[in-house]
C-alpha cells in the first residue's frame, strides 16, 4: 500500500502543490505544467516518506498554503 493512499485529500493536495512547486519547477518551465502528472508527484511523495511529508505539511500550513 502506498503512503499517498493514507493521506487525507486536503493534505495530499497540499503536498502535491509543494512538490510541484519545489521538485518540478524546472520541468514545468521547460516542458509546461501539464508535463508533470499526479502520478509523478505521488511517486516523489512516496519516496520522501511519511516523516518528511509530515514536516512539509506542517511548513505548508505554517506558511498559510492551506
Q: What is the pLDDT of residues 9-63, one digit of tens each?
A: 999 999 999 998 888 888 867 887 788 899 999 999 999 888 888 888 888 888 8
For residues 53, 15, 56, 45, the Cα torsion angle rounded to the nearest 10 degrees is: 30
Query: For residue 4, how many other CB atoms are within 10 A of its CB?
Result: 18
At 23 the pLDDT is 85
Tell me the whole-structure pTM to 2 decimals: 0.81
pLDDT band at 1 (very low <50, low <70, confident <90, very high): low
pLDDT value of position 60? 86
| Alpha-helix residue ranges (DSSP H) falling in the chain | 9-23, 25-31, 38-62
Amino acid at each position: 500500500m502506498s503512503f499517498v493512499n493514507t493521506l487525507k485529500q486536503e493534505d495530499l493536495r497540499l503536498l502535491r502543490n509543494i512538490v510541484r512547486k519545489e521538485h518540478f519547477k524546472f520541468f514545468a518551465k521547460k516542458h509546461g505544467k501539464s508535463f508533470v502528472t499526479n502520478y509523478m508527484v505521488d511517486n516523489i511523495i512516496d519516496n520522501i516518506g511519511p516523516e518528511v511529508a509530515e514536516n512539509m505539511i506542517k511548513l505548508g500550513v505554517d506558511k498559510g498554503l492551506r
